[in-house]
A and B are shown apart, each in its own frame.
Chain A
Amino acid sequence: MVRALDTKLLRDLWRLRGQALAIGLVIGAAMATFVMALGVHHSLTQTRDAYYDRYQYGDIFVSMTRAPRSIVQRIEAVDGVAIAEGRIEQFATLEFADRIEPVRALINSVGADGESKLNRLVLAEGRGPVIDKANEVVIDKAFADANDLDLGARIDAVVYGSRTRLEVVGIGLAPDYIWSIAPGELIPDASRYGIFWMGEKALEAASGRTGAINALSLKLERGASEDEVVRHVDAIVAQYGGTGAVGREDHMSNAFLTSELDQLEAMTTIIPPIFLLVSTFLVYVVLGRTIRTEREEIGLMKAFGYGNWAIGWHYLKFAIAVALIGILMGSALGWWMGLSMTEQYAEYYRFPFLYYQVAPNVFATGAALAFGSAGIGAIGGVRAAAALTPAVAMSAPPPPIYRAGLVEKFGQWADISAVGNMIIRHIARWPGRSAVTVSGVALSLALLFATIQFIDGSRAMLDNYFFRAQRQDISVAFIEPQNEKVLFELASMPGVLRVEPARAVPVVMRNGALSERVGIEAAEIDDRLSARVDANGFEVPLPASGLMLSRPLAEKLDLAPGDRAEVELLGGRQTKTTLTVASIIDELIGTRAYARSEALSRLTRDGTPVGSANLLIDPLYRDQLITELSDMPLVLGITERDAAMQLFEEIIEENIMAMMGFYIAFAAAIAVGVVYNSARILFSERAHELATMRVLGYHRSEVGIVLLGELALLVVVAVPVGCLTGYFLAQLMVAMFSSDLFRLPFAPDRSSYGFAALVVLAAASATALIVARRVARLDMVRVLKARD
């Protein structure tokens, strides 16, 4: 049988269903983001680990110019190496009849029928390539999808200077290419860059590397030291132009996935706590009000012999029930959002399968946090209920005491209308609750602002990178570094207005025990097509001598201007030199270093300082130029700035579409939860006064002003507070979401403050108006009879 007190609880919940639901909404938002972020994190981690494990993702990767295949045995003999496997990685330029823009592929060699020991190919369709059939390739699924290529499709390609026609025999993917990007690009573009796999013998022949390899993957024995093995491997491959071995942590595909997972984790530590904090506030005010209105009932129950514990527990159960509503709604929503987000991730990160599952402990932890927050909010009210003695509780509550305080004096001094005084004094009379309303609405605004400013950040980065730092129309990457003659060749092509060389020299930079692999980018002081631009959009001049380091790199190596860094060339000669750090630049992308070409040529000591070239062109000649460049055998790739920029914009737009709805809904959930509860409490407290005013001849709209005026005043105060909070919250989120790979600048557009304020104001107004409609239902007659 349901006990009477529990029946009361159910009736209370029903009576306060609007308010309970509004708080539930906020708790639900907390739960949903928590379940979503951790669920996606868990699912992606599980999927990744299973994929890596099942398809033998390597532990260490190293590239070199060219090494005999026999090197694999030498590497395998290194202490700690379980499996070593060599392969060829060869870039190819692809030609599609109807497309002018350059399309590239990286062809990887595989054993018989596409088999390999490490980084094993997963075939989605078709079969593996025959080991020595020169025209058979497996293409990656993303590329196939983006370009509408099916089994049997033929692709014209230039591989190592020879034109050939490739046949798609399979479509697949591999664990070392969960994420891939063309060299020199900023954003992955599956339609312009593909990963292919070709039979080993066939690729040896096609790339002129019979009996040779240019890349190695290793699997470590359990418990082996990665650093130790890397050192040994680097020593062995050095003479073959090894560019330094890296572990999974620095392997591009895994590094990007990891940074994404880190962002998800950051999300769980910032967003749900905000919702939970607000829900704590709300439970505090709603329960506090309920207990004040139920003083007599509490007194009666105590007079009947219910103990303090029973009464306290009764009200605590109210908070628990409200939390439960939120937990149930949030769990379902979070699960669903996580699923759709995981599917979205599968667009960018290529997995052969996706495990979507949210571990029970995610739900349990989320629920515990939700119960905890609601419980903390309930403590004040529960203690007050327990502390009431029956005699006190059953006497009428003392009327709210207003005395001639500061606020009252202000009202008289400023000659504010009677209605104005009612509003101001009520706010001052309940400062705690007013503060809850202000801070709740402010947090809703802050959260919305902090999330949408990432869009501004992306746009700022776009502007920073594409308009300020990169001013070329086209950049041309060469298969291997060229001498300066190539610049003259390019300059003489039709439509080329200006040519500037560029080069990145792979080095290991050291400071004492600290070391970091980095490409030092060569530039000239009078370069016009590329510039180094800091996070604020200011161009930072290249130092006349010495190195300029990006801040993350300087911090990793603990280097400051004036310090000397030891620099060792990777690939080719293992020349070592020391260079002085001349300046530090705050950049948005990557860990980078710059120096004048002259300084680098001392290190490289070669006559081929041109790794790529930046071109300014006459747009009229664009098509012709691209066709001609694609035909040059020494050209590895062509990147068009406009196309990259457009792609970047598309990605931003897509993200806006996908996430904006969530952000707005969540921010609105807080605003609605806070305003609805404030309005209901305000209304219940003031119903008597409002009805009196109606009796005295005030119209509904005029009475509504007393109710809405107070809320409006609080919300108006909340807007600047919210903007300020958002300003700091956004910076915290920017810091937490930035990784080694890139960080978004904190560069909010002013309109984002306005937009966030508008959404919150709209949600608050709509909610307040719904409550204000109750003014029409005020029972004037009852006022005549009843004491408040």
Chain B
Amino acid sequence: MPEAVKTEPGNGREVAFVGRSLRKTYVTGETEVHALRGVDLDIMAGEILVLLGPSGSGKSTLLNIVGGLDRPTSGELWYRDTELTALDEADLTRFRRSSIGFIFQFYNLIPSLTAEENVRLVTDIAENPMSAKEALELVGLGDRRHHFPAQLSGGEQQRVAVARAVAKRPGVLLCDEPTGALDSATGVRVLETLAEANRELGTTLILITHNAGIAAMADRVFNFLDGQIASIETNENRISASEMTW
């Protein structure tokens, strides 16, 4: 692990991710797009981190790399004792399976599976999951677990997605615009659930959002610009999700 990591910034927490000189370049035809231009970062275990920034600023690329969906062109990335940048495809899959929970803007539920079965899709392959029923009760959908996605509202579907993500008790929850498709009240409800997982399970929560208001619930905020972290803000007084409106 790189030396810098051992100096633990803030709150005496353990370090979850350490990234050094992360670069990502996409080549499409004759044009090169530099999505990340040498990013250094340390993400603390159990913190809530919000990634803010305009479209194309590199935050999604970073989230993908952190989640093991993509690899940087250069640089190194560690998750606890594991160097993610050295893993092969199968090991990255294993990493996602054991450590990462994903929540997407458009839920990505399997339409042919009921709420409970969508959660089971993850608990079937996880090492130490909670039961699907338990996970759904956690998001307040215990009584709707036999419904198919088409029979649920958007907010309910996103809560199923949250249940699916937390059921495996992941070390990290990655959320890409989790409230982007939801109205304010429903969005708050979803964020509350996420915050609860962070609190109860000690899960590191990394959120991408265009909604600067959401930054208020974060421990820290990374502001992205042109493939780099332009600034880092630390919230001394974070507010709970239920206090937010937009």
Instruction: Give residues in A with beta carbon < 8 Å to B.
Output: 399-404, 408, 411-412, 417-419, 421-422, 425-426, 429, 688-689, 692-700, 702, 780-781, 783-788
Contacts and interface: CB of A to CB of B under 8 A. Distances in A.
Contacts of B122: 696-697
B69 A699 contact: no
Contacts of A780: 69
Contacts of A700: 89, 93
A689 B31 CA distance: 31
Contact of B150 (A403, A781, A785): A403
Nearest to B112: A425
Contacts of A412: 114, 146
B150 to A, nearest CB: 5
Contacts of B60: 781, 784-785
A760 B89 CA distance: 34
B97 A402 contact: no
Q: Which 5 A-B pairs have the closest CB atoms?
A: A697-B97, A425-B112, A697-B96, A418-B121, A692-B108
Classify chain B: how many residues form its interface, as a range. Answer: 35 or more
B150 A399 contact: yes
Contact of A781 (B64, B93, B124, B146): B64
A418 B69 contact: no
A693 B150 CA distance: 19
Nearest to A400: B111
A251 B60 CA distance: 86
B113 interface: yes
A429 B89 CA distance: 33
A399 B109 CA distance: 11
A421 B112 CA distance: 8
Contacts of B126: 697
A689 B110 contact: yes
Contacts of A402: 111-113, 148-150
B69 A404 contact: no
A699 B91 CA distance: 9
A593 to B, nearest CB: 67
7 contacts: A399-B150, A401-B148, A402-B112, A402-B150, A411-B117, A696-B122, A781-B70
Interface stretch (B73-81, B98-106, B191-199, B230-238): B98-106
B47 interface: no
B33 interface: no
B159 interface: no
A529 B108 CA distance: 79
A699 B95 CA distance: 11
B133 interface: no
Given A404-B148, A786-B106, A422 B112 contact: yes
A695 B102 contact: yes
A787 B106 contact: yes
A787 B149 CA distance: 14
A783 B64 CA distance: 11
A542 B146 CA distance: 74
A404 B104 CA distance: 26
Contacts of B151: 403
A697 B100 contact: yes
B27 interface: no
A702 B93 CA distance: 11
B156 interface: no
B118 A418 contact: yes
A785 B124 CA distance: 25
Given A408-B114, A780-B69, A418 B150 contact: no
B85 to A, nearest CB: 17
Q: Quick one: which of A404, A696, A698 has the most chain B CB within 10 A?
A: A696
B189 interface: no
B69 A781 contact: yes
A399 B111 CA distance: 8
Contacts of A781: 60, 64, 69-70
B18 to A, nearest CB: 22
A784 B105 CA distance: 7
Contacts of A702: 125
Interface in B21-68: 60, 64, 67
Interface in B158-196: 164, 176
B172 to A, nearest CB: 12
B4 interface: no
Contacts of A788: 106
A692 B110 contact: yes
Nearest to B104: A784
A702 B70 CA distance: 20
A783 B90 contact: no
Contacts of B112: 400, 402, 421-422, 425-426, 429
B64 A698 contact: no
A692 B110 CA distance: 9
Q: Quick one: which of B93, B98, B112 has the most chain A CB within 10 A?
A: B112
B104 A699 contact: no
A698 B164 CA distance: 14
Given A421-B112, A695-B96, 19 more contacts: A401-B111, A402-B112, A402-B113, A403-B150, A404-B114, A412-B114, A419-B124, A425-B113, A429-B112, A688-B108, A692-B110, A696-B121, A696-B122, A697-B93, A697-B97, A697-B98, A697-B126, A780-B69, A784-B102
B194 to A, nearest CB: 17
Interface in B103-143: 104-106, 108, 110-114, 117-118, 120-122, 124-126
A404 B116 CA distance: 13
Nearest to A405: B148
A404 B108 contact: no
Contacts of B98: 697
B121 A693 contact: yes
A552 B18 CA distance: 90
Contacts of B108: 688, 692, 695, 783
B94 interface: yes
A694 to B, nearest CB: 7
B104 A783 contact: yes
A425 B113 CA distance: 8
A589 to B, nearest CB: 58
B120 A418 contact: yes
A698 B125 contact: yes
B151 to A, nearest CB: 7
Contacts of A401: 111, 148, 150
A189 B87 CA distance: 72
A746 to B, nearest CB: 44
Contacts of B69: 695, 780-781, 784
A784 B117 contact: no
A188 to B, nearest CB: 63
Nearest to A693: B121
Contacts of A417: 120, 124
Contacts of A418: 110, 113, 117-118, 120-121, 124
A418 to B, nearest CB: 4
